[in-house]
Amino acid sequence: MGKKTKIGIAAVAVGAAAWAGSKALVTAQPRPKKVALEYDRPMILAHRGGSLLAPENTMAAFKKAASFGVDGFEIDIRLTSDEELIVFHDEFVDRTTDGAGKVSDLTLEKLRTFDLGYHFEDLEGENSYRGANEKVVTLRELLEEFPEMYINIDMKDSPETYEGSLMPSKLWRLIESAGAEDRVGVTSFYDEQIDRFNLYAQNRVAVGAGENEIKKAYAAFNSQFGHLYKPRADMLQIPIRSSVFNLVSPRFIAFLGELNIPVHYWTINDPEAMRALIDAGAKGIITDRPDLAVEIIKETE
């Protein structure tokens, strides 16, 4: 037996011993269950209210999605210059006829002069919302309008910006004052934002995983040391693919399920893809077509 072979065998033996030792000493620690995430079937969340059916992030969209029987909404929030939390995705808002402005540079009053239905076209290429008085919606208004809905809130402002530095504390105070701790989830692409929010929330609100936490979860699943993974999120919201990696795996979903972490996939508008995800064990479908998704769920009941 050659020297290199002996070294290789020794390395494998050491690795196996380390794995066995860690399994004996460490057991996976599931996340405490959150009321907002306890449901008996896959959850249907209308993405920005169902942005293929009505102008995104408008009351028209949210009301239409609610009429189909969705479980809740997946929304983005940003902070205005007068420090109001609004339901809005883009950093800049289109002023319909006179250019664009940055949300954080504009007041709520100014933002509400813009027609959010101006550019919308439905699936037939028609616009029935231009001039229909669809205005910016605040997060407080959405919580009050739909008191029974689950709302997943994505903090869009970067933690490195002034508005981003204020957002976690302002969001927590709003959720607390609205008594919405058990019917919202809070997430961000920025792990730092989620950590900042949870400094205030103290695990009283379900939190999602930022990009780094998602990578850690996937790496742990693909390693022999998944039992060492200590999750910092109550849920994962992920696409079907990330770079070259296919994130749809019944084993991956089950791995997270054992840790009390449901997996929600975005943004899924194809019925066959919805069926495949539900068959794989997905606990949530985030979609621009809530009308289709609700029908798919009915098929499985």
Task: Report CA 199 to chain centroid distance, whole Å.
Answer: 19
Q: Using alpha carbons, select from 258, 259, 263 the residue that is nearest to residue 280.
A: 263
User: Active site includes 119?
Assistant: no
The answer to whether the CB of 53 falls within 8 A of the CB of 124 is no
The label of the residue with tokens 């405490």 reads: 32
Q: How is residue 141 written in tokens? A: 């208004």
Residue 22 tokens read as: 């860690």
**Phi/psi at 95 (nearest 5 deg)?**
-90, 20
Q: Which of 47, 119, 227, 264 is catalytic?
A: 47
- Is 275 in contact with 296 (CB distance < 8 Å)? yes
Q: What is the DSSP letter of 159?
A: T
Please give the Cα distance from 219 to 238 (Å, whole number).
15
Task: Verify whether residue 89 is a known catalytic residue.
Answer: yes
- Cα 39 from Cα 71, distance rounded (Å): 10
> Which member of 89, 119, 227, 264 is catalytic?
89
**Which has the closest alpha carbon to 68: 274, 294, 271, 268?**
294
Query: Catalytic residues, which ones?
Result: 47, 89
